[in-house]
Structures are given as structure tokens and as C-alpha cells.
Amino acid sequence: MADSSTARLRPGQRRRTRKAIVDATIELLAGGHTPSVAEIAEAAEVSRRTVYLYFPTLEQLYIDATVGALSLSSIDEAITAAQATPDDPAAGVEALARAMCRQPDETKQLGRRLVRLTAERPVAPGEPRRGYRRIEWIEAVVEPLRSQLGEPAFERLVSALAMVIGWEAFVVLQDVRGIDPAAQEDAIVWAARALVEAALVGR
């Protein structure tokens, strides 16, 4: 169960703390060294206890960091392209969805392991197990809609998009539907665009 001090933090604060830990791990791993919890905590400027609150096992932290290190470049390009056309948020969401779908197989396998590890970890109600990076990406591409939709509808759209843009969607489409990568991408992009269009119609 999450520590009460962590549970009291605002979602944005939790995401920033988690991001600091993962970013520090990415940097240390990039140096060719497998860091200890103490080294990660020092680099992230948090306590060892805080690292363990967010990542009960080093394996989970290493996988999250590796996924982030492998996927950031193409995602950043998609977000930049989306922000260049703020008048077409559906196109921005499509660009992000396609970038996720076109990640290397190695990245997708790490994502699958991350899903398994975090699904098995108990957490306090309302505390995300993971996904802060994905939420930041989605928010970045649909930010122009925040003022149009209003905060509750905007947050609902972000939550809905998080269900179709991410590792879980690949697991469902591969394991449950048994479709190939091209068909997976087609389904994910269709669903993502449909959610944006539905949000605009219902505003």
C-alpha cells in the first residue's frame, strides 16, 4: 500500500517525482552502469525510501527507464508535429498514436513486462501505478481542446485516450484479437480519432 505521505501529494507532484526518478535512472543507465537504489536516489535528489515507494522492485524501475529511453525521440517528433497544427487535434492524436504503434518490437516487449509488473503491485485507491509519461504526451497533443471542452470533459478525454494509446492496447489487440501490427495500428488510430471527434461533438 502507498505511504500516506505519497498519497497526500497532488497527482502532478507524484508525476514529477516519478519522472525525476526515471530520468535519473535513464541517465545512469546511459553511462553503461547498472545503478543501485542509493545512486538513483542521489541523482534524483530523493530518498531511497521514496524510490521504493514508487518502484517496489529495481526490475520495474529499469524496465520503465528503458522503455522511456527507447521511445522518447519518435514521440517527441509526433508531439512537435501535433503542436504545429493546434487547429486539428485529431491529427495530433493520430500522430501520437502512430508513433506509439511504430515503436520497435523490443520496446513493446518491455512495455508488456511493465504492464505485468505494475498490474501485480497493490496501490492505494487513486494512485496511478505508472503512465505519467503517457499522460503528459496525451495532454500535450490535446491541450488546445482544454479551453473548448472545459476541465471535466478534457480530463475525461485524456483518460479515454489513455485506454487506446499505450501498451495495454497492444496486449488486447495481439492476445485477444490476434491481428497483425498494421491492423493494430489501424484500430488504435481509428479509436483515438473517434474519441477526439466524440468529445468535440459532445462539448
List, for residues 14-72, the tens digit of each pLDDT value. Answer: 888 988 998 899 888 877 778 899 999 999 999 999 999 988 888 888 888 877 776 66
| Res. 1 pLDDT band, cuts 50 70 90 | very low
Which residues make Cβ contacts (< 8 Å) with residue 201, sequence separation at least 6? none
Which residues make Cβ contacts (< 8 Å) with residue 104, sequence separation at least 6? 70
In this predicted model, which residue has the larger pLDDT, 182 or 113? 182
- CA proximity to 130, closest of 1, 4, 15: 15
Q: How far apart are CA 178 and CA 186, in angstroms?
A: 14
Range of the domain at 172: 4-201
Neighbours of 178 (CB within 10 A): 8
List, for residues 107-164, the tens digit of each pLDDT value. Answer: 787 778 777 777 776 666 666 666 677 888 999 999 989 999 999 999 999 999 999 9
Retrieve residue 131's grid coordinates.
Answer: 503512465
* 8 Å CB contact between 153 and 202: yes
User: pLDDT at position 3, please?
Assistant: 47
Does pTM top 0.85 for this prediction? Answer: no
- CA proximity to 3, closest of 47, 35, 38: 47
Neighbours of 30 (CB within 10 A): 10
Can you say how many angstroms the Cα of residue 78 is from the centroid of all Cα atoms in its chain? 14
User: pLDDT at position 126, please?
Assistant: 64
| Res. 181 pLDDT band, cuts 50 70 90 | very high
Torsion (CA) 108, 109, 112, 114 in degrees, nearest 10: -100
Q: What is the CATH number of the domain that holds 178?
A: 1.10.357
Please state the domain count of the chain. Answer: 1
